[in-house]
Structure 1
Amino acid sequence: MAANQSHNQQAGHLNPSLEGVLLMLAGLFVLSVSDGMVKYLAQTFSPLTIAACRFSMQVLIVWAIASFKGSDLRGLIKEFSWPQVLRGVFLVLASLQIIVAFKVMPLTDVIAIFFIQPMVLTILSAVVLKEDVGPRRWIAVLMGFVGIMVIVRPGSGIFGAYALLPIGAATCFALYLMVTRKLSGQASLMGAQFVIGVTGSVIVIPLLILGSLFGITETPILSSAAGIEELWLPLTLLGLLAFVGMFGQGLIITAFERAPASLLAPLNYAEIISASLIGYVFFNEVPDAMVWLGVSILVASGIYLAHRERAAANAARRALDKS
């Protein structure tokens, strides 16, 4: 009887690795929804307005969660450090560039080009962190750039200054990940989110105010919106954006607690499927065959890089065990 009960309890729970995979896929889908929200909001609000609301709302959400758990504001402030702020700056720069890119480019094209990030991170790891990068990983990086060239196609309508936005965003996000590696174990998740939110607010809100006062940037609400009856949906989505983004990140963080990174990392490319679906359904965007070819090359390169990262980690672990 007890054995049957134990078997039933085990049958009622998923394997942790499978839980991690499902959480990862759910998180990527939620982040694709967040990207779609940004693209929709960019039709009404300036990129600075979207970013200012996103980061300021993040501060309030983290503060509220910390207060609910019995922490106070002083505990969050104590986690401030220059490396933490630098990480926040890189994420702010990546966010601003990706928001502008969503405004002027198809959703799938932006996500596809952004997938250059693992290749950029590999280069930064070799140049800045002095990590050993073998010839096969360099070949994978080179193939990643070939994939980007297939997507943007120099001489086509996609190639141009706008295509540099997701490339710049991917570079800044790779720098964010590089700093995150260096800060591993030095800050709590809530503290890191709080520092990022404050850093983003401190950078973006003054830019928004100055840009609006001096006419350097777009006004917060564009003149195409005639009245409040036309703004209720954009304003609602603007308020929900931070919640949706943090929920997606929370799912992904939980996924990495359930399953190994080597299993989850290649799943990042599933985002191109959900992004394409959202782009088609809500924005009538249909990627052409060359975009899919470039994405295929990028995905293959990224998965191989993830495989080499796993092999290097296993080799380092074995060497440590022998010593």
Structure 2
Amino acid sequence: MSPAPDRILAGIMLMIGFTVTAPVMDSFAKLASSEIPVAQIAAARFAVQAAILVPLAALLGLLTRPTPGEAGLHLLRAGLILAATSAFFAALRVMPLADAIAIFFVEPFILTLLGALVLGETVGWRRVLACIIGFVGALLVIRPSFAAFGAAALLPLLTALFFACYMVATRQVARHTHPVALQAWTALGACVIVLPLLAVFEGSGIAPLDPVMPRGIFWLWLAGVGLAATVAHLFVSAALRCAPTAVIAPLQYLEIVAAAILGFLIFDDLPDAQALVGIAIIMGAGLYVFMRERHLNRPPPPAP
């Protein structure tokens, strides 16, 4: 039985909320990155999320003690999303917001290929071709960015790889864990990893890892990163409970539009013509992958 139309509409609206809120988080991270080390921004993102979601999940009675296997998966997922977040925040220090997010959107193609390699999912030649075309689009965005910013232009690609691995790991626990509890364990696991790391590297002089005392408005930027991240992930978790993935997943590309608008309004950044062509190719190839997935998973018509 498919979800009722009103639930599908709610899912669409919640997903649009995610596509607006996620670039807000990235904007706060970019603002903070002028003075705050990348690892410290990532730590703030997960610490705020843990401070909000762990008590909420406990209040709702969702924090059952994980088995050793589940705890290991939570830590693995936390490490992967922490690595993805840190790589992306490092890219935002120098790159325009829309360009970085556009390159990150090769993630569905990496996830498609990982699904075939790791989970044994069937991937036909059409989706493989769409993935190749999507990577070509990413190269069109990366090439001018690489010329302008150097190796930092490859960091969103690394983010996409880490995030796709995180999604594969998440599939192993998402079926029997409530979304709020799942995000709470993720945030808690990331804090367990990153906070001791910051303590070890304090005073080391290694810029990405050596924490500093935030000044003035930077406290607001750090709080904004964590709050926007929490709201964004609650939006997408709620959206997935209201509507099928095939309905809401294509809406994720609105995130590039929101990022371009915020990048222009806050940082006076706009993608150049070549980057816009690359973004269009990535979006087209990604939408094809989603539509192909939807077609292949469509239930057969009832027998006469």
TM-score under structure 2 normalisation? 0.90
Q: Which runs of 4+ in 1 moved over 4 A?
A: none
Q: Give 1:196 shift.
A: 1.1
Instruction: Give the whole-Å Cα distance in 2 for the aligned partners of 1:113 and 1:140.
Output: 15
Gap regions ≥5 residues in structure 2: none
Letter in structure 1 aligned against 2:283: V
- Count of residues in correspondence between the two structures: 297
* Partner of residue 255, structure 1: 239
SS in 2 for 1:15: helix
Could you list the per-position Cα deviations for residues 40-99 of structure 1 after superposition, in whole angstroms to 9, with x for gaps in the alignment? 011121111111122222222122213443x38xx4543652222212211111011011
Instruction: Give the whole-Å Cα distance in 2 for the aligned partners of 1:130 and 1:151.
Output: 31
1:121 pairs, out of 105, 111, 125, with 111
2:21 pairs, out of 10, 23, 30, with 30
SS in 2 for 1:153: helix
Instruction: Give the whole-Å Cα distance in 2 for the aligned partners of 1:169 and 1:23.
Output: 24
Q: Does 1:181 align with 2:171?
A: yes
Letter in structure 2 aligned against 1:195: W
* Partner of residue 167, structure 1: 157
Instruction: Give the whole-Å Cα distance in 2 for the aligned partners of 1:237 and 1:77.
Output: 34
Alignment of 1:38-49 (within 5 A): 38-49=29-40
% of aligned pairs identical?
Answer: 32
SS in 2 for 1:104: coil
1:21 pairs, out of 12, 16, 23, with 12
Q: Does 1:140 align with 2:130?
A: yes
Deviates more, 1:188-197 or 1:162-171: 188-197
Instruction: Give the whole-Å Cα distance in 2 for the aligned partners of 1:259 and 1:100.
Output: 33
Are the aligned partners of 1:211 and 1:217 in contact in 2 as well (CA < 8 Å)?
no
Could you list the per-position Cα deviations for residues 184-214 of structure 1 after superposition, in whole angstroms to 9, with x for gaps in the alignment? 3122223322221122112211221222232
* Partner of residue 237, structure 1: 221
Could you list the per-position Cα deviations for residues 135-187 of structure 1 after superposition, in whole angstroms to 9, with x for gaps in the alignment? 10111011011101111227962473112210000011011111122223122
Are the aligned partners of 1:76 and 1:194 in contact in 2 as well (CA < 8 Å)?
no
Q: Does 1:285 align with 2:269?
A: yes
SS in 2 for 1:185: helix
Instruction: Give the whole-Å Cα distance in 2 for the aligned partners of 1:51 and 1:105.
Output: 17
Instruction: Give the whole-Å Cα distance in 1 for the aligned partners of 2:274 and 2:290.
Output: 24
2:99 pairs, out of 99, 109, 126, with 109
**Is the alpha carbon distance of 1:158 and 1:121 closer, same or farther for their aligned partners in structure 2, counting shifts above 3 Å?**
farther
Q: Does 1:276 align with 2:267?
A: no
Are the aligned partners of 2:29 and 2:92 in contact in 1 as well (CA < 8 Å)?
yes
Larger radius of gyration: 1
* Partner of residue 89, structure 1: 79
Letter in structure 1 aligned against 2:15: M
* Partner of residue 52, structure 1: 43
Q: Give 1:121 shift.
A: 0.5
Could you list the per-position Cα deviations for residues 227-258 of structure 1 after superposition, in whole angstroms to 9, with x for gaps in the alignment? xxxx3321023123222211111122222222
Are the aligned partners of 1:153 and 1:159 in contact in 2 as well (CA < 8 Å)?
no
TM-score under structure 1 normalisation? 0.85
Instruction: Give the whole-Å Cα distance in 2 for the aligned partners of 1:240 and 1:109.
Output: 22
Gap regions ≥5 residues in structure 1: 1-13, 226-230
Instruction: Give the whole-Å Cα distance in 2 for the aligned partners of 1:238 and 1:157.
Output: 30
Deviates more, 1:280-289 or 1:204-213: 204-213
SS in 2 for 1:213: coil
Are the aligned partners of 2:141 and 2:275 in contact in 1 as well (CA < 8 Å)?
yes
Letter in structure 1 aligned against 2:34: Q
Are the aligned partners of 2:94 and 2:149 in contact in 1 as well (CA < 8 Å)?
no
Are the aligned partners of 2:137 and 2:277 in contact in 1 as well (CA < 8 Å)?
yes
